A and B are shown apart, each in its own frame.
Chain A
Amino acid sequence: MENLLVVDSIQKYYGSKENITKAINDISFSVNSGEFIGIMGASGSGKTTLLNCISTIDNVSSGHIYLENKDITKINDEDIAKFRRENLGFIFQDFNLLDTLTVEENIALILTINKVLQKDIDNKVFELALKLGIDDILNKYPYQISGGQRQRCAVARAIINNPKLILADEPTGALDSKSARQLLDILKEMNEKLKVTILMVTHDPFCASYCNKILFLKDGRIFNKIEKGDKTQKEFYNNILDVLSLLGGDFRDVR
């Protein structure tokens, strides 16, 4: 399988010369097309920074990130918007839907920017909404629907333009356990059926157990790396908990 994403010894520093914080201290890894990869770590371990660098929200201090052999750390300001809308889909913890637009309009926004034909937009949005079970709320505004529905709407927005990579930052963080499970099932299904590549940051072991590969970060470095392989989800979950107890910090008491 071909490497979709290659992260090549990146570093990210914050602060001044006298007082440097190394948020990311030399991380390298690669992601294959169709993988569902999780990034775990205690708060302050650099997982969100890593996601931000990959998603071009933040810049790296050194190193390179390649998406399909294109170095995204070198994209200039004019091309960045086009790059984002053609290659990336985002899912945030707090949804970040535009509350002046209806659910339907939120999902369709990117297509209109990409100048997709009106008729195709309607079909595409409805088809996807049906799949995600939000077809009956398409004409509602985000503040009129539940958290779980909002996040499914955000997922629809993220995948409507068939991005190469979906970046999810604690997508279940603001959801109750039932909605969280529902959402993860959806992500898993997307990954398996549509072969969407997903990179998900989370601190919740249950959430992480849906992935098929997990990177553990500690103090800006990769501490460990595990793969699901042929394990059941339950076995993989226990496997994650083992690593986490080694990792210490916030996860000391999870068991």
Chain B
Amino acid sequence: MFADLNSILNTSPDDVRQREFILLSDRKADASFLIHHFLSFYLKAGCKVCFVGLVQSFSHYSAVAQRLGVNLVQARQKGQLVFVEALKASAAVMFSESTDDAAQMFDYLRSPVPELRALFESVCASLIQAEADSSAPPVLIVDDVSVLLSLGVSVRAVLDFTHYCQANICSRLQGCVVTLVRCDDDDEDEDEDDDESSNRLLRALSHQCTLSLRVEGLQTGYCRDIHGQVEIWWRGTGEDVQSQRRLFQYKVYDKSVSFFAPGTSSAVL
């Protein structure tokens, strides 16, 4: 959890906003530090978290969370964290190795028209149980949905999944959803008509989300002191309407991230 980001977003673990749909995206940069931020943030806030890890294994997230001061193993044993080992399970399904519960969740990968119904149902089931015995909102974190595209799921199916998640978790259970989308590096104009691109997924999700954090590499290339820029965009929901954008540059440290206005890096000034 990064205190800097909390103050920018004007939240704290004691004051978790409900019904947030947070979209993280990156292009020519790595936004996974934001995933780790939100994971530790919601765990500290005492929310029940369902984490779908398609990119890394549990031990990786656990090691990073340890540095940020959150013990994932403990949280998992307490039942606060439901970790879906999607990385291992999807590989196992592909090679028809296992038939356990986790594998069934990813059964769609073998069907001719992959859809994410089973995944949605299991995610929902794990969060609905939580709702009964806690006051904090349930949270779903997906890292990251563009991996599903690579596994052969269509953009439409992914959008169905996120739409259902938003309807159920944000709207019905008053919870939050955090997803990460990684974009292709090529220009957006080129794949204007490409139906299956992550750019299209990103555009569609931008319409759905209430808060968007867009991480991009610097246009001028790699820099030792500035790792990239992040555009934070509050898109109004129905109630609070005015949308607002702010741009920051950031640098990731070992245990924290510093955000500063463009051009005001400590290395420059």
Partners in one complex: no
